[in-house]
Structure 1
Amino acid sequence: MAMRKICFLLILMIAGVVLVAGSLGGTQVNKFVYNAQDKDTLSDEPGDITGDVIPLKDTKLIIEHNAKDKDTGFQCFIDSEGWNEITVTGPGGKVLTFKGEGQLGELGLTELFFETVEPANADVPIPEVLKVLPEGNYTVMGSAIEVGERQGTTMGTAWLTHNIPKGPVLLLPEEGDSVPLDDLLVRWDPVTKTLDGSAVNIISYQLIIEKDETPHKHMIGKRGLSMYLPASVTQIRIPTEFFEPNTNYEWEVLAIEESGNQALTSSNFRTGDV
């Protein structure tokens, strides 16, 4: 799992947000989580369109593969003007439903990001993981709401493929290296193939460098940098001012292919004296 993220493990229960699991599972957490096959728990069946249709601002459904840890899972991102219930449906049927209840549900929610558990490939082979969500278009639809007022139906689609790129091979710095406190060159090999050996169209690399630390309790992430680079760029210099002396850093590179699926490789290094 990438260092920058908090894995929700398909359980999202923050300030009145209810996850209703579908084909990805129906784990019950107190009274807030219900199996999506129990139709009585949903206000509208998937496919019901009421009022105006408001397009979602963004919908993404992708696969992430960790080449170092050798695990694989799904991620989803949704952005809208406001919703309080939203359902993802695909070629295999209902995937899951999110439902907002309580004060924030009445206000309305906008962005939503979640990722599934990422089972080790040795325990659950990648082909078995991919059976959970078949390739194809996924419909994301729900109740639009803004400041407590129903606005109709919000709707969008996400395209999922099973094209998973190989993880980048990190070249510099090597794992565990002690590097001088100068402008640091980070470099990796370009990714040209998928895990099954097919040609792949990489559209971007994401570089992340973070200080190896326990973040402040009120910070979501660690101190560091994250940048998206063109697919033609496989090396870049990081200015000296970014680093602290005698400090451990973690870094990773994600290769992102044209449908959004991504594979990452991570490593670490330590800076020297001033």
Structure 2
Amino acid sequence: MVTQRTSLAGLSGFLTAALVATTWPSLSHGDEPCNELDECRVLIEINASDGDIGFHVLFDAEGWRKARIVGPDGKQIFSEHARKALKDQRLTENFFESAEPLCEPELAEDPDDRVVTLPEFLARFPEGFYEFRLTIQNEGVIAGTTLLSHFIPAAPADAEFDGTDITWAYGDDLGECVTQPDGFVLAGEADIVAYEVVLTPDDDELSPFSYTVRVPASVNSVAVPSSYLASLPADAPLKVEVGAIERRPNGSFGNQTFTEEDGFCNNPDQDLCPGEEE
């Protein structure tokens, strides 16, 4: 897709407005509290449109300098240490994502593309309790556990943007990730706790200024604030992401599956932005 470019000099006015209008995403709503930690969460995220899969982690506690994560099999899968000035300053919240390899061999376009199918990924990250062990001041250790399930929601279907509203429907598959283990069952519509909705300019200079919101699972339409759309250039190309989020047994947020659709335009009166081709 060829996108319309806007000079940096002309960005200052509407980028300021975009910052005000934008809600930034955050990986929250895990276990709160997480035993002795303030919060913790592990999850599987699938991009059903691009066909990739990753492992996400969040944990939060006041004033730690060492962290370890131990999987359900008792083996350590992650560790980190704060050093020098950061060791003295101490740490609080930490969030990271794994690499996101492709989930099907057929999606690889380059010999160097990594492929990890869903069955391989689930074997690599077994379901069960993941324990966080944090070293705090005076070498004390605090711990917390959170649950990873293999209950993954289907990718939202029919994501659309009509110039004012983003709409979607409950889906029934994982998009490009078609290879699934024997006995695998998708999370049902009643097992979704929320949807995360993102509208992003499909332009390198403007892409940081996205609009993101989470809504309850009963909602399948979001009105994009007019102030946000007005902050973008007329006819700016846009893309939409909608993610279904699993409801874990304790009501917190779990695994998530996203659908992406592009080719939308910040102009409800035309189907294509200037410079785009059919």
| TM-score, structure 2 normalization | 0.68
Report if aligned partners of 2:159, 2:240 keep a CA contact under 8 Å in 1.
no
CA distance in 2, matches of 1:144, 1:98: 13
CA distance in 2, matches of 1:248, 1:209: 10
Match of 2:255 among 261, 265, 268: 261
* Secondary structure of the corresponding residue to residue 119 of structure 2: helix
The 1:215/1:78 distance shift into structure 2, 3 A limit, reads farther
Root-mean-square deviation (CA), in Å? 2.4
Measured after TM superposition, the shift of residue 212 of structure 1 is: 2.6
- 1:153-232 matched pairs, under 5 angstroms: 153-173=141-161, 184-191=164-171, 196-200=184-188, 201-215=191-205, 222-232=208-218
| Residue-by-residue CA offset, 1:146-168 (whole Å, 9 max, x unaligned) | xxxx3622211111011111111
State the match for 1:135 in structure 2: 127
Measured after TM superposition, the shift of residue 241 of structure 1 is: 2.7
CA distance in 2, matches of 1:127, 1:261: 16
What amino acid is the match of 2:69? Answer: V
Question: How many residues of Structure 1 are paired with residues of Structure 2 in the alignment?
Answer: 207
| Residue-by-residue CA offset, 1:8-37 (whole Å, 9 max, x unaligned) | xxxxxxxxxxxxxxxxxxxxxxxxxxxxxx
Give me the identity figure in percent. Answer: 29
- 1:92-103 matched pairs, under 5 angstroms: 92=73, 93-103=75-85
What amino acid is the match of 2:235? Answer: N
Question: What 5-or-longer segments of structure 1 have no aligned partner?
Answer: 6-53, 174-178
CA distance in 2, matches of 1:140, 1:170: 38
* Secondary structure of the corresponding residue to residue 166 of structure 1: coil
Higher helix share: 2
| Residue-by-residue CA offset, 1:179-238 (whole Å, 9 max, x unaligned) | 55xxx121111246787444420000011112233358xxxx711211110100011222
State the match for 1:81 in structure 2: 62
CA distance in 2, matches of 1:57, 1:143: 14
What amino acid is the match of 2:118? Answer: I
The 1:215/1:80 distance shift into structure 2, 3 A limit, reads farther
Measured after TM superposition, the shift of residue 252 of structure 1 is: 0.4
Report if aligned partners of 2:187, 2:246 keep a CA contact under 8 Å in 1.
no
CA distance in 2, matches of 1:273, 1:258: 35
Q: Report 1 or 2 for greater relative contact order, CA contacts < 8 Å, sequence distance ≥ 6.
A: 2
CA distance in 2, matches of 1:237, 1:132: 39
Report if aligned partners of 1:170, 1:265 keep a CA contact under 8 Å in 2.
no
Question: What 5-or-longer segments of structure 2 have no aligned partner?
Answer: 1-23, 26-34, 105-114, 175-179, 249-253, 270-278
Match of 1:67 among 30, 37, 48: 48
